[in-house]
Structure 1
Amino acid sequence: MAKKKNITDTKLISFYMDYVLTHNHAPKTVYAFAKDNNFDEADFYKNYASFDALEKSIFKVFFYNSIEILEKSEEYQHFDARNKLLSFYFTFFENLTANRSYVVYALKDKGMKSLSSLSELRHAFKKYIDMLDIETLDIKEPRIVKIQDFSKQESFWIQFMMIMKFWLDDTSPSFEKTDIFIEKSVHAGFDLMDIKPLKSVIDLGKFIFKEKMQ
């Protein structure tokens, strides 16, 4: 009898992706999946509660693999928020391209309605957007700050999903049209969020108010 394999979450993901691409559906049971890949069923549950949980983790792994690559770059560390986000998108979609068959299965063949597969990615991405320290209006009211932060996260998540959809439908060589779409989307997004003109208007209003009060 062959010795049972030592299992990790990375190996489980690899086994799972290979299975669904070979059979075009998820494994029927954890027992059968473990038996086919020669590991103990209990080892699966040490890492994931279900196949759904495993599937959700795959896109989060793609995300953190991309971040790990970027953080090794000294150049990336000195980028502003706009160029950090551009670098992230290019790196992330390179990772997706390397796993395109699985991503198409998970998101396109099953329908974009299966966005539950992206729930953990969404959480990680929104935290990343917060860490970019994208400039917003300096308003001290906590409720306004909370609304601003939420709007910023959701706006960039929508942008991310638009790029994902474009990439899924892209038929250009090396997905070069997606690269163009990424650049145009990021620049347009940051240009729309440019608060400098609005800050000037607010500063003028403060000055006028101060002068009138005196």
Structure 2
Amino acid sequence: MAKKKNMTPDKLISFYMDYVLMHNQAPKSVYAFAKDNNFDEADFYKHFASFEALEKAIFKIFFNNTMRVLEASEDYQSFDARNKLLSFYFTFFENLTANRSYVVYALKDKGPKAMSTLSELKQAFKKFIDTLDIESIDIKEPRITKLQDYTKQESFWIQLMMVMKFWMDDTSASFEKTDIFIEKAINAGFDLMDVKPLKSVLDLGKFLFKEKMH
């Protein structure tokens, strides 16, 4: 009898991705999955509570791989928020493209299940957005500041979902249209969040208020 394999999270994920792409469905059970790949069922549960947990981990790994590449780049460290986010998108979608068949299987036409699968990616992405130091109105009210941060995170998350949907439907060579869409989406997002015009209006309001008070 062949010796049972020593499993790691990466090996489990590789076996799982191979299985679903070959069969167009998840394994029937962890037991069957373990038996097919010659490892102990208990080894699966050392790393993942279920196939759903494993699926969520896959997209978090795509994120981690992206950040590893970016953080190793000296140029990236000197970028402003807009260019850091652009760099993230281009690198992240390189990771997705390298695993396109699985990503399309996991997300396309999956509805609410797709959102559940992306939940760990969402949390990591929102924390990443917080690190970008995107300028916002400085209002000395904790509740408003918290709402601003939440709105910023959710807006960029929705933008990422839009780009992923566009990429999955993109039929252009080397997904060139997605690259164009990324640039336009990022630029539009930052332009909409540009606080300078609003700051000018607030400054004018403060000036007029002071003048009237005097």
Range class of TM-score, shorter chain? over 0.9
RMSD over equivalenced CA pairs, Å: 1.0
CA–CA distance in structure 1, aligned partners of residues 3 and 55 of structure 2: 27
Q: Which amino acid in structure 2 is aligned with residue 23 of structure 1?
A: H
- After the TM superposition, list the runs of 4 or more consecutive aligned residues in structure 1 that deviate by more than 6 angstroms: none
Give the structure 2 partner of residue 49 of structure 1.
49
Alignment partners' CA distance in 1, 2:28 and 2:110: 20
In the other structure, the counterpart of 1:23 is: 23
Give the alignment of 1:1-214 within 5 angstroms.
1-108=1-108, 110-114=109-113, 115-214=115-214
Task: Give the CA deviation at 1:93.
Answer: 0.5
Q: Secondary structure of the residue that 1:138 maps to in structure 2? A: coil
Q: Aligned partners of 2:154, 2:145: CA distance in 1, in Å?
A: 14
Question: Secondary structure at the residue paired with 1:208?
Answer: helix
Deviation string, structure 1 residues 127-179 (Cα, Å, up to 9, x no partner): 11111111110001111111111111111011000000000000000000000
Q: Normalization by structure 2: what TM-score?
A: 0.96
- Deviation for aligned residue 1:6: 1.5
Question: How many residues are treated as equivalent by the alignment?
Answer: 213
Q: Distance in 2 between matches of 1:53 and 1:213?
A: 60
Percent identity between the aligned chains? 78
Q: Deviations over 1:11-67 (max 9, x none)?
A: 111110000001111011111111111211111101100001101111111011101
Aligned mates of 1:111, 1:90 — CA distance in 2 = 24
CA distance in 2, matches of 1:23, 1:10: 20
Which amino acid letter does the alignment assign opposite residue 11 of structure 1?
A: K
**Whole-Å Cα distance in 1 between the matches of residues 111 and 168 of structure 2?**
10
Q: What's the TM-score once normalised by structure 1's chain length? A: 0.96
Q: Runs of 5+ in structure 1 lacking a partner?
A: none
Residue 3 of structure 1 and its aligned partner are, at CA, apart by: 1.7
